[in-house]
Amino acid sequence: MVEEIQKKLQNELDNFKTIQKEYHKTLNLRQQLDGQLNENKAVKNELELLKSDSEVYKLIGPVLVKMDLIESKQNVTKRMEYISKELKRTEDIIESLDKKQDQHRETLQKLQQQFQQAQLKAALKA
């Protein structure tokens, strides 16, 4: 009985650790996306300051390529929309993983209690 509960406890702990790794990985992704969104907001603000006849260049590899101002603004806006959608998706994943972690914590607590009770019963029988 004690060994059976111990195996369940170890299995649940392994599952919990896996969820935690995924959670931390997703948090890192969210931080990256936040950084990208802030960067693009800064670029958009800078583009808004330019006059319509201003020249805009985009760095592609080692080359600066001339871009149309309106096209540049549209590209940045589209990029910001995409990043915002990815952020929302990432937030949903984080929320889901939070719930899973809570469920695993509860299960772990119950299994630990069962394990302690089983150990106590085994000790009393001996």
Dump pLDDT digits (tens) for 82-119.
Answer: 999 999 999 999 999 999 999 999 999 999 998 888 88
Give the mean pLDDT of the chain. Answer: 94
Measured CA to CA in angstroms, residue 81 lies from 13, 76, 93 at distances of 39, 9, 19
The candidate with the shortest Cα–Cα distance to 41, out of 84, 70, 91, is: 84
Domains in the chain, number: 1
The domain that holds 101 is classified in CATH as: 1.10.287.370
CB 86 within 8 Å of CB 92: no
Instruction: Report residue 3 as tokens.
Output: 């060994």
Residue 7 belongs to domain spanning: 2-125
Please give the pLDDT value at position 124: 84
> pLDDT-derived band of residue 126, with 50, 70 and 90 as boundaries?
low
What residue type is 92 in one-letter code?
Answer: D
Q: How do residues 66-77 score in pLDDT, each as one tens digit? A: 999 999 999 999
